[in-house]
Amino acid sequence: MANPISRAWRKLFYQDSGSYFLLPKVDAAYPDPPNEGPFGEAGPPVWHWIDRFTYGGKVATPFFYTIIGVWLALLTLVEVYFFTIDDFFGSFFVTIMLLLALLKFVIVVAFFMHLRFDKNILTLVFTAGFLIAIFVFVIMLSVQGQFAPSPQIAP
Amino acid sequence: MAQAALEQEQHGHVADTNTGISNRKLLMWVFLASDCLFFGSFIATYLVYRNESIVGPFPNEILDIPLTSVSTFVLLMSSLAMVLALHYAQKSQLGLTRFWILAVVVLGSVFLGFQVYEFKTFVNEGLTIRSNLFGTTFFVLTGFHGLHVLMGVLWLLGMAFAHFKGALTSRSVEDLEMAGLYWHFVDIVWIIIFTVIYLIGFSDGEGIETIEHAASIIGG
C-alpha cells in the first residue's frame, strides 16, 4: 500500500476510505447467499468484475452518486449530439437512441433507486411490470400497423 | 444470517415480513410497475398518431430540442439531489437531508417552469390539445408527466417542512425513500419521453402534408 497508485486505488474503491463507493472488503461482508446478484456465479469472469465494482450495499457514498449523475448528463449530451447527426446513422438512428435511453433508464433504476443493492424480489416486481408494459406497447403498435411496411403509391 | 446481520448494520433494521422488505416499499414498487403500463400506453398512443395529423403544426416544426435538453438535464440532476437527500437521511444528518430535499423541490419546479413555458409557446404557435392528433397525444402524455412531477414537488415540499422538523426516525427515512422512488420513476419516464417523443419524434415528425401522403398512409 506504499505506492501512490495503490493508495489512490484504495481511496477510491475501498470501504475504509470514505470516498467513492464502498466495496465489501472482507468475505463476510459479501451477500450471503453469494448468488444474491442478478446472475449469481453464472456468466463470464467479466461479470464478476462488474459485480464487485457495482455492489456497494446502501453504503454507497455521495461521490459515487455524483459520478452516476455525471454519467447520466454525459449520456444525455451524447444523445443530443447523435440527434444532430441523425443522417449519419441512417436507419440505425432509432435503435441507437433507444439503447442509449435504456442505458440511462437502467442506471437510474439500479443505482438511484437502489435496485442493484436491494432484494431481488423488488427487481422481479418492477421488471415484470416493465415487461408487461413493453408487451402491451408492442401489441398496440402492431395492431395499429406501425410495424407494417409503408404502402407504396403505384406510379 | 450473514446477510441479515449485514442488513441490520446497514439499514438499521430488517422488516418483520415474509420478504424482509417493508410492505410499504413493496407496494410502492408494485405501484411503479403498474405506472409503467400507464405511461407505456400513452407513449404507444403518441407513436401511433404522431404522423397522422392532417393540419399542422407538426412535431418537427415546433419541438424545441435545446430547451428540452436543458430541462432534461435539470430533472436528471434533481434525481441526483434526491438520492443524496436519502443518503444523508440514512446517516441521520437532518440539515443536509433538508437541504437536498429542497434542492429537489427547486429543480423540480424549474422543470415545471420549462414545461409551462413550452406549453405556452406551443399554444401561441397554434398547437393546442384540440389542434390535431399530434397536439392531443403530446399534451396528454407530457401533461400527465408534468402532473406527476407536480405531485412529487408537493410531496417533497410537505416532507421538507412538516415531516423533518424533529429528529429523523426510521419511519421518516422510509417515508423519504418512498418519495425518492416515486421521484426517480418520474425521472426515468422522462428519459424515455425525451428520447422517443423529442429526439426520435423530431426526426420523424412530418405529419400528413399532401393528399398523396394521406393516401399512402390509409393505403389508397
Average pLDDT of the segment spanning B185-194? 95
Q: Quick check: B117 pLDDT over 70?
A: yes
Flag whether the ipTM exceeds 0.85: no
C-alpha to C-alpha distance for B133 and B111, rounded to whole angstroms: 25
Q: Phi and psi for B139 in degrees, rounded to 5?
A: -65, -35
Per-residue b or e along B122-141, where b marks 16 or more CB atoms closer than 10 Å to that residue's CB:
beeeebeeebbbbbbbbbeb
User: Measured between CA atoms, how close is A146 to chain B, in angstroms?
Assistant: 7
- Out of A97, A112, A129, closest to residue B195 by CB: A97
For residue B103, what are the contacts with CB-CB under 8 A and spacing of at least 6? B78, B81, B85
Using a CB-CB cut-off of 8 Å, the residues of chain A touching B45 are 140
DSSP 8-state assignment for residue A146: T
Residue A38 at interface with chain B, using a CB cutoff of 8 Å: no
Are the beta carbons of B63 and B125 closer than 8 angstroms?
no
Residue A89 at interface with chain B, using a CB cutoff of 8 Å: no
According to the model, what pLDDT value does residue A51 have? 58
Which domains, and CATH codes, for chain B?
24-51+58-201 (1.20.120.80)
User: Measured between CA atoms, how close is B57 to chain A, in angstroms?
Assistant: 21
pLDDT along chain A (155 residues), means of 10: 67 51 52 44 56 53 85 94 88 91 92 81 89 91 74 58
DSSP H helices in A55-119: 62-84, 86-89, 93-107
Tell me the average pLDDT of chain B: 84
Residue that the C-alpha cell 399554444 belongs to: B123
Using a CB-CB cut-off of 8 Å, the residues of chain B touching A126 are 29, 32-33, 36
- Residue A115 Cα distances to B82, B134, B215, angstroms: 15, 35, 48
C-alpha to C-alpha distance for A85 and A76, rounded to whole angstroms: 15
According to the model, what pLDDT value does residue B220 have? 42
C-alpha to C-alpha distance for B39 and B43, rounded to whole angstroms: 6
Are the beta carbons of A82 and A93 closer than 8 angstroms?
yes
Query: pLDDT by residue (tens digit) across B173-188?
Result: 889 999 999 999 999 9
Q: Quick check: B51 pLDDT over 90?
A: no
